Amino acid sequence: MTGKFFGQRQLLLLLFVMLISSCVPAFSAQSIILEIPGVIYADKGTIRLGSIARITGGSKKTRDMIANIQVWNDGETLDRMEVMRAIDESDVSDVRLEIRMPLSSRVESPGYEGNFTDTNERPNITQNDSRSVNDLVPEILAMSGWNGGLEITANSPVPEGRIVDPATIIPGTSGATLRFQDNHGRVRPLNVKLTWTQNALIAARNIKRGDKITAGSVFTRRIKVSRAGNFPSNISEIAGFTSNRNIKQGEPIEFSYLTSSNVLKRGRHLRVIARYNGASASTEGILLEDGRPGEWVKVRKADDRRVTLRARIIDENTAEVNAE
């Protein structure tokens, strides 16, 4: 039994590595880091990446090319997918690019220089050493793109300055080391424990396999979560779904417990996400067989027929490979 478990884990890890390596160019490519904060300051419309991002690594010529890429924001948020799309459509090539930003950055009106600059300068912000870790919650939520709740605890005071590392935190991460830089350039760390919460649907009664999920069969309760995307938070997310297993009264309902009547057909394009040890990678994939949300199916990379994966359909646009 132990050997079988080890083999499955090794296979999943191999698939994760394959997905990671297939998302970037060859090893000889330039390594560049593109870092966009959780809050940017810009007018609605098209903006240069160089005006909102800190770009490091690679050659100056390549950094300048990336800095001149134009991205669109709606005046409220700048989505990570929009940044990736703009880069994919540009002339930049032979680059191993690491994008450090939340799923979406909040856009604020100009007038405060809060963006990264080409000289890597940070805005001068005076902070009080007595501030609470609760004051960090909005910034951590923006970094992670998490729309649920978050509790933060720490064994030492919050340092002066602002968070400069990490650029993003994956929802469900149990702890992190935050690094703060003050007005004098000094960097101090703070170890924090993170507890992520969200509204989840709870079985109001025993639900049998094959039963249709209705508003009367569930109620909403706040729960702690270790990974994002496991639990529906609203009955509208699972309208028309049926249970594919017996669910006990009081048990939180996971997407994997449900089957949708909406069949996704073979050949459909969707985003494939892989997670391992707190890291994640994603790429465009194609369904190799019909499936419903909650079911495991075969998928392949859209640009490489040789890379075939086993993934669980999350929704009509997303499937996930769990390498953990």
d(CA 214, CA 15): 37
Name the percent of the chain lying above pLDDT 90: 17
Q: How many Cα neighbours within 13 Å face the side chain of 139?
A: 15
Give 215-234 pLDDT, tens digit per residue.
899 999 999 998 777 888 88
- According to DSSP, residue 257 is labeled G
Three-class DSSP category at 248: coil
Determine if the pTM surpasses 0.85: no
For residue 226, give the nearest of 146, 297, 143 by alpha carbon.
146
Three-class DSSP category at 302: coil
For residue 54, give the nearest of 115, 128, 108, 137 by alpha carbon.
115
- Note if the bond before 171 is cis, omega within 30 degrees: no
* Beta bridge pairs of residue 163: 180
Q: What is the pLDDT along the chain (324 residues), one digit of tens a residue?
A: 444 444 555 555 555 555 545 443 333 467 888 888 888 777 788 888 887 888 888 888 888 888 888 888 888 888 888 888 888 888 787 788 888 888 888 887 654 334 444 333 333 333 444 678 899 999 898 888 888 899 999 988 999 888 888 888 888 888 888 988 888 778 888 899 999 999 999 999 999 999 989 989 999 999 999 877 788 888 888 877 889 899 999 999 998 898 876 778 889 998 888 765 555 677 889 999 988 777 789 998 888 878 788 888 877 788 888 655
Q: Which domains does the chain have, with CATH numbers?
A: 30-119 (2.60.480.10), 124-255 (3.90.1210.10), 269-322 (2.30.30)
